[in-house]
Amino acid sequence: MFQRLTDYIRARVEADDESLAFVLSHFKPVKARRGELLLNFGDVCRYCYFTNKGAIQIFYLDKNGDEATRDFVFEGTWVTELSSFIHQKPAKESFKALEPLELLAISRDNFFKLVEAVPQFAHIYQKNLELSYTRSVERIGSFVSMDAEQRVRWLYENQPHLLTRLSNKAIASYLGISPETLSRMKARL
């Protein structure tokens, strides 16, 4: 249950058994079925999750009620609606299980207690913020500087694993294009 998170931590920081156990003790296992909503926009995001297994779609609803994907999350990474999580205010995004999920959940208070108390945990948090921010910046760049075809090419070259694991519909909404357009472009490449 905690094996993956243990490996994750040990791969990133030096941690004695006691600190590690202390950190792990603040997480509790959570499961979700395919299609289940982990977070519904409008609700407060009470937890930060470490993903043991599965795939999650983070999305907005556009004016037509269609899902507009902000990001995907897979095993070995974290997921939370940071703004909602930090300030415990209503979330603007929703999380949906695209596959059966095994997660480890930690509450806001416990999370920041660990950040204060365990320097290694603060370090992991900092590195994650840096990485998440850097990825977001790249993604913004793709929207302001590329057209639909260039973004599809970019996905093929930089995130090919997404193509094999996710539905066309999900990928299209991630690229900000319609499923039909993605289908046509795949046929042309």
How is 118-148 classified by DSSP, letter by letter? Answer: -HHHHHHHHHHHHHHHHHHHHHHHHHHH--H
Instruction: Report the site for a copy of itself in 51-90 (rule: CB under 8 A).
Output: 60-63, 68-71, 82-83, 86
Stretch of 46-54, 82-90, 128-136, 143-151 contacting DNA, by CB under 7 A: 143-151
Q: Minimum distance from CB of 138 to a copy of itself (Å)? A: 8
Q: Minimum distance from CB of 137 to a copy of itself (Å)? A: 6
Beta-strand runs (E) in 66-128? 67-74, 78-79, 94-97, 101-107
Q: How far is CA 174 from CA 2, 52, 177, in A?
A: 30, 23, 8
C-alpha–C-alpha distance, residues 126 and 114, integer Å = 13
Pick the binder of a copy of itself from 125, 154, 178, 179 (CB under 8 A).
Answer: 125
Residue 179 in contact with residue 169, Cβ under 8 Å? yes
Stretch of 5-13, 51-59, 113-121, 177-185 contacting DNA, by CB under 7 A: 177-185
Binding status of residue 159 toward a copy of itself by CB under 8 A: no
Pick the binder of DNA from 14, 16, 147, 157 (CB under 7 A).
Answer: 147
Bridge partners for 94 per DSSP: 59
Binding status of residue 188 toward a copy of itself by CB under 8 A: no
Choose among DNA, a copy of itself, none what residue 180 binds, the Cβ cut-off being 5 to 8 Å by kind: DNA
Bridge partners for 41 per DSSP: 43
